[in-house]
Amino acid sequence: MMRAELVFVPTPATGHLVSTIEFSKRLLDRCDRFSVTILVMKSLFGVAADQSLPAASHNHIKLIHLPNVNHPANLNNSFEKYLSDFIENHKSLVKETILNQVLPNTCQIAGVVVDMFCTTMIDIAHELEVPSFLFFTSGAAFLGLLLYLPKRYDRVGKVFEKSDSDSIVPSYVNPVPTNVLPGFVFNEDGYVSFANHARRFKETKGIIINTLVELEPHAVHSLFDSVDGSDQSQSWPAVYTVGPLIDTKGENQFRSDYKKIMNWLDDQPPKSVVFLCFGSFGSFNETQLKEMAIGLEQSGQRFLWSVRRHPPEGKIEMPGEYTNYEDFLPEGFLERTKKVGMLCGWAPQVEVLGHRAIGGFVSHCGWNSISESLWYGVPIATWPLYAEQQINAFLMVRDLGLAVQLRLDYRNDDGDFVTADEIERALRRLMDSNSEIRKRVEKMSEICRKAVDDDGGSSFTSFGSLIEVMLASLKSS
């Protein structure tokens, strides 16, 4: 039997592609009527970023790496607008690739699945007369914020000001302080770009979210309210919560530094190590790194610290690796902490979080990192850096009570600075073995695993409903 093809168009960033691949694997494990083609754009961050992208490792998933396209003329004031324009420049290439490389090798296109930045590709689905779906790689609360942006803009006609009072956003339990909103809402180009994406979400046949209803009940039900007609001013597509989408198997064991890191963890007591890791693009200047080292040493905690070299100011590129940690460490730090700490560059985050020695996670609060930490029952101390990470941190601390507040409003592009004393206090709270937050996170770990279980789990059931809709589209075509 020839399979129908689902074509995925993800944002060209590691975190987005990882979630896309894991979703595709789950889909194919559940249904043998489909195969998947993922169209991979070249990263804006150069060859180093492309080399960090994951492989598909599945017989019925094919990655097609698209050729280079022209970058937008300039960055202006908004990276989000720049990225959206960059993706827009791929539109004709994506259509040509589907027509010439996908269609000839399948019985039919079952649908086009687009990322939050890739809504321009919905036009291609319309032209092919196939359904489109939005695959939202962040959480339901942030999706609710994006849906709120165009309605707010139509009402007040301007972007947010940093002096604005707290906002009542339907997908958040508590009023949202202006200082935790994503940076793009203060910028005309960024705000309008995201509002335009959000307007197009309603053109899809369904919105797939990497979350579970038990984690974000308020946010998910606020979206369901829009779907079932409680919000008469809008008509949104059906919502499918299918998370957490986590690749627990990984392929990192083939990297040379994997064994060194895991062997070190094997020698540590259970739940004794705090893991500091800030994602593919997370880095700090050397002044902040030195302060982090002082805070770590003052806290007395065992630690595994993933350290990346900050890109030169004004450069759009991936963080680099240090060849000599003593460039930024306090004198004698390595000698004093050699029995309790380890520094590394790249770290196998999923495998580390799953190790019995890990007791806490200092994180940038990217959605994948939050999902992974909850899956393994490891509490987070929040240190957001960019994108939607500040409002993710707010959600975890204030709305859900599942994280320790280190900072909610830190931004790595405005000269902010976290002191050693702040870090020390947060680490002590994070590693408290009897804290209520730890108990709630461990309980949520159980809930996450039940959600994806085939015995009536909420995400498993939602995934089944999505597959039925996709299959119905095939029958009617």
**Predicted pLDDT of residue 455:** 85
Q: Which CATH architecture has domain 252-448?
A: 3-Layer(aba) Sandwich (3.40)
Nearest to 477 by CA among 32, 107, 205, 113: 107
Q: What is the mean pLDDT of residues 373-377?
A: 98
Residue-range domain boundaries for the chain? 4-243+454-475, 252-448
463-473 average pLDDT score: 95
- Count how many Cα atoms sit within 13 Å of the Cα of residue 278 in the half-sphere of its side chain: 26
Question: Which secondary structure element, helix H or strand E, spans residue 426, and what is its range?
Answer: helix 420-430
User: Which residues make Cβ contacts (< 8 Å) with residue 359, sequence separation at least 6?
Assistant: 270, 271, 272, 273, 274, 378, 431, 433
Reply yes or no on whether the pLDDT at 232 is more than 50: no
Residues paired with residue 284 on neighbouring β-strands, in sequence order:
309
Two domains, one topology: 4-243+454-475 and 252-448: yes
pLDDT at 462: 98
- Angle, helix 420-430 to helix 286-299, in steps of 10 degrees: 50
Q: What whole-number distance in Å separates Cα of residue 291 and Cα of residue 422?
A: 10
pLDDT at residue 252 in the model: 56
Q: Which of 68-82, 264-278, 330-344 is predicted least confidently?
A: 68-82
Lowest mean pLDDT among 48-62, 266-280, 372-386: 48-62
Q: Which residues contact 369 (CB under 8 A, 6 or more apart)?
A: 277, 279, 349, 361, 363, 380
HSE, side-chain direction, 13 A CA sphere, residue 255: 16
The DSSP secondary structure of 345-408, one letter per residue, reads SS--HHHHHTSTTEEEEEE---HHHHHHHHHTT--EEE---STTHHHHHHIIIIIS--EEES-S
**Stated length of the chain:** 477
Average pLDDT over residues 129-158: 97
* Percent of the chain's residues with pLDDT above 70: 92
Given a cut of 60, whether residue 477 has pLDDT beyond it is: no
Pick the CATH number of 4-243+454-475 from 3.30.420.40, 3.40.50.2000, 3.40.50.720, 1.10.8.60: 3.40.50.2000
Per residue in 284-307, pLDDT (tens digit) is: 999 999 999 999 999 999 999 999
Side chain identity, residue 434 = N
User: Residues of the chain with pLDDT > 90: what percent?
Assistant: 82
What pLDDT shows up at residue 76?
Answer: 66
Average pLDDT, the chain: 92
pTM score, whole prediction: 0.94
Higher pLDDT, 414 or 444: 444
What's the pLDDT tens digit per position in 87-134?
A: 999 999 999 999 999 999 998 999 999 999 999 999 999 999 999 999
**Residue range 430-441: mean pLDDT, rounded:** 97
How far apart CA 112 and CA 120 sit, in angstroms, is 12
| Selected residue with higher pLDDT from 315 and 143 | 143
**Cβ pair 304, 276 in contact under 8 A:** yes
**Would you say residue 227 has pLDDT above 60?**
no
Distance in angstroms (rounded) separating the CA atoms of residues 123 and 407: 40
